[in-house]
Chains A and B, each alone.
Chain A
Amino acid sequence: MTDVDVQARLAALREQYGRRLRDDLQTMMAQTRELSEHQTAVKADSLETLRQGLHRMAGSAGTFGYAALSQDAREMEVWLQTLIEGSSQPTLQMLTALHDRVSNSYRNLERMQIAGVTEPDDSHPLASGERAIRVAVLADGDTGELIRSLSGFGYECRDLDAREIGADWRPDIAIVDTAKVEDDVWKPAVGAIPEAALIVLSAAGDFETRLDAVRNGAQGFFMHPVDVPSLEHRLRYLINLPQQDPYRVLIVDDDIELAEHFRLTLKQAGIESRVISDPRDVLIGLRDIVPDLVLIDINMPGCSGPELARIIRFDDDWLKIPLIYLSAESNVHRQAQALAQAGDDFLVKPIGDMALVSAVTARAQRSRQLSMALARDGLTGLIKHPAIKELIELEVARSQRTQAGACVVMIDIDRFKSINDTYGHGTGDYVIRLLANLLRQRLRRVDHVGRYGGEEFVAVLPSCQLENARETIERIRISFSQLECVAADEVFHATFSAGVASTREWPNAEALLEAADKAMYEAKQAGRNQTRIATP
């Protein structure tokens, strides 16, 4: 591994840690606010929890480049330590000062993080790496359309003769058109690049053909004519696969050794978990790790599994998390009784390691997909209308605090109704997905993209000057107009019009959206396929 790779991995860890730091500080803000508001009931252990949190932060923040914050945390820790060791109760002023200090650290962190975000620029590398993702297409010369489409999304594509593959340009993904290339040509070629993920394009879609693709190691299968947005979506999925956050599981079991065994077993499979041995701590545990799934022992002293499940279900926040009982109860009737109260499923103890891992993985995966689906639009995978409005409000508030302007962009596909009328709704949906993927692809990771209405999108660009936002959207507009949209037997081009507004001119979310919308309308009036800036 080269030095550059080490730096890149360090940067990735730093980013991940930065997110955690925000969460931790937010939690501490809530804890200290609570303390300062209920001063009479300050308990020694709540101060101790806080002190431990600060201690951990003091030790870790500096390693990830947050030296000032590390120092702050250390000072607060020392101060809190004297408070804990002292005999008198902390005064209201002390607790308020502590809360202010934590809030101040949080603001400093936000300022630092937003300062690290650079203005959008011309380059648009995929994933998090320095270079573009390489895609090799093997289709015996007949690759022009596909390569043009994928290149529009920023992939580095090459039409490769099977014989020249892999010499000095090693692809990350190989797309093989089995309708055009013979098996004895492509199979050895693909075999020479084992690190590349394989996608098979095929003329037939029957079971045998799909099975054959699976047996050749394919991780994607598409039939002709190829749906480019779906193909692009799959590419993104394949590239991002290893970067997914590990699943998180909360284990509630009074048998500490067994629970610990479950935790280690899950850990070996890459699943994070936290063990809670006292059911009373379950709400804290839930807030701490926000699990994808909760495993609950059915027989615990003081509070049974079904009772605990009902307590968890009181809270709307946890409604979507599957609650799975772990139990030695193999009587189906009694299982049904427990499930009738609350809870989603049973795992019967003793359970083997493999069985545990696969049961947990399947349910956690489902749970995560569902929670993504709830906040996201089904067709495009983008954020839905109400959620994006909330994000705009957050960004407006942030830009006022940090003085860094944010921009909101309203985007509307031109003459969408006539696309639908001419080519059918299926093609209309295709165009929407194409634009959704392109926006997601080209904007920065800090930007938000939402689907606002039928063919209308909204993007929020934090820490971005008006002119940079306009340029970014213009580049996307030009790329989009060049993408080939494929209807049944016809190729056409779609365009969009956009309006950009900055928080510098419009101080609240409502006015900002309205201004961007008005600018977009002006772009339409002026002939479409252009970007307009909103002026007061």
Chain B
Amino acid sequence: MKPLQRILHVEDDISIQEVTKLALEVVGGLEVTSCDDGQTAIARAHEWQPDLVLLDVMMPGIDGPTTLAKLREQPSTQSIPVVFMTAKVQPSEIEHYLSIGALDVLIKPFDPMTLAEQLRKIWEHSHD
């Protein structure tokens, strides 16, 4: 199994973007590219070919689920796993995100010290 290395993080809230970058790069030793909307994310995913996309659900412009759908339409990005991040906690919503093809769903707020570890577990689990 290839170890998890490159994460594309899509999030419109700049504070969360910064703390996530710190949590993944500095604490977790991963490589992170951040962008703040779905449209840019689709282009970046194509160019940069990340191992995994960490995607905020609610964003201005095109939202998380739409971004996921567009990633799936593009041959160069269709098999990149996507993990959603959301402040919503209704179980039905989580089920919905899984049903449309998310690898997993992380709940906000998160602990910056363990975020990378959580992602690694999801990654390893998906390769079991």
Partner of B58, one of A10, A52, A62: A52
Check: B110 CB closer than 8 A to any chain A CB.
yes
Partner of A63, one of B14, B40, B110: B110
Check: A74 CB closer than 8 A to any chain B CB.
yes
Proximity bits, B23-59, A CB within 8 Å = 1, else 0:
0001100000000000110000000000000000010
Contact A60 B27 (CB under 8 A): no
Contact A13 B22 (CB under 8 A): yes
Q: How many residues of A contact B (CB 8 A)?
A: 25
Q: How many residues of B contact A (CB 8 A)?
A: 19
Check: A20 CB closer than 8 A to any chain B CB.
yes
Contact B109 A60 (CB under 8 A): yes
Residues 58-107 of B contacting A (Cβ, < 8 Å): 58, 86-87
Partner of A13, one of B19, B87, B108: B19
Residues of A contacting B: mostly: helix
Check: A329 CB closer than 8 A to any chain B CB.
no
Contacts A1-B26, A70-B109 given; does A60 touch B15 at CB 8 Å: yes
Contacts A9-B22, A13-B22 given; does A59 touch B109 at CB 8 Å: yes
Give chain A residues whose Cβ lies under 8 Å from the Cβ of B40. Answer: 264
Contacts A6-B27, A67-B109, A264-B40 given; does A59 touch B16 at CB 8 Å: yes
CA distance A297 to B25 in the complex (A): 39
Check: A55 CB closer than 8 A to any chain B CB.
yes
Check: A61 CB closer than 8 A to any chain B CB.
yes
Min CB–CB distance A71 → chain B (angstroms): 10
The chain A residue sitting closest to B88, CB to CB, is: A55
Partner of B87, one of A6, A9, A16, A55: A55
CA distance A59 to B56 in the complex (A): 10
Give chain B residues whose Cβ lies under 8 Å from the Cβ of A58. Answer: 87, 108-109
Contact A9 B26 (CB under 8 A): yes
Check: B117 CB closer than 8 A to any chain A CB.
no
Question: 7 extra interchain contacts, Cβ-Cβ under 8 A, other than A9-B22, A60-B16, A260-B39?
Answer: A6-B26, A6-B27, A10-B19, A56-B13, A56-B58, A62-B110, A63-B16
* Ranked 6 nearest A-B pairs via Cβ: A62-B109, A59-B87, A59-B108, A63-B109, A17-B15, A58-B87
Residues of A within 8 A of B (CB): 1, 5-6, 9-10, 13, 16-17, 20, 52, 55-56, 58-64, 67, 70, 74, 260, 264, 272
